[in-house]
Amino acid sequence: MAKAVRKQALGRGLSALLKDPDNDIKTAEDKGADKVVGNIVELELNNIEVNPFQPRSSFNEDALKELASSIRELGVIQPITVRKVDFDKYQLVSGERRFRASKLVGLETIPAYIRIANDQESLEMALVENIQREDLDPIEIALSYERLIEEINLTQEQMSERVGKNRSTIANYLRLLKLDPIIQTGMRDGFLSMGHGRALINIESTSDQLDIYEKILENSLSVRATEALVKNYKEGKSVSKSTPTKSKTPEYIENAKKEFASYFGAKVDVKIANKGNGKLIIPFSSEEDFKRLKKLISGAK
């Protein structure tokens, strides 16, 4: 316990050093830089801006609330990483979820590692760190690889060294970006796996890609069934006549569909993604019918 208190006090002392305008640290060669760079410093959240190079475009609100609850109980266990951009001003390099969750809790400061880097280095650090995360979907990873190639000018071989992945793995992710945007969205929403996407890449026609994509969703096709469907297509066989095996819908879903249909007075469809999440689709025939459904959902009388 004493060691933890001493570490926090050290962080506060370094924070005070950073607030000295007469000894502002701008480069790694400046006086006092060796005491700050690479060390954990308690920084005020209001002095930190989000990284404009952040490759992630959305954050799950429920997951953020769970992290916020953990931070409320245990504090920020893993420091964020920031780069110094001005006097007592910082920009996130990595750790935006921890940053956002700390704000939700109402913290005033957060432990941080300070880096002095230019924009290109900051982007590279953010992208490489994000690629290592386990909760990124395949399209997010592919977009991060693409940005490393286009904005950092890394070759696939250099990228392989940076992220510790085989070149073939990187190439497979990048190929996903050739899929139609609708299919990419389906992958981001969890309705398709990377295996489904890799099978669909072999179809050059966008319209045919989308036709098969619809059949994957309608029939809850496995990756193997999708590969067979694509193979039939490439051999000139009619996709529409194929009869792939449809995965059995869980009993709890079938029972709920009947209850929903009875309640809403409409046939309700349920689509289930590979991760267990899904979509509930309630059709309506007119504006009046839509308003009727809205009242039923909201419980309005």
Catalytic residues: 96
95 conformational bin, left if phi > 0, alpha if psi -120 to 50, beta if neither: left
CB 104 within 8 A of CB 64: yes
CB 230 within 8 A of CB 203: yes
Amino acid 115 reads: R
| DSSP structural state of residue 35 | H
CB 35 within 8 A of CB 103: no
DSSP symbols for 138-152 = HHHHHHHHHHHHHHS
- Cβ neighbours of residue 35 closer than 8 Å, sequence gap 6 or more: 14, 17
Pairing type for strands 278-281 and 40-44 reads unpaired
CB 23 within 8 A of CB 31: yes
Q: What angle do helix axes 251-264 and 287-298 make, rounded to 10 degrees?
A: 120
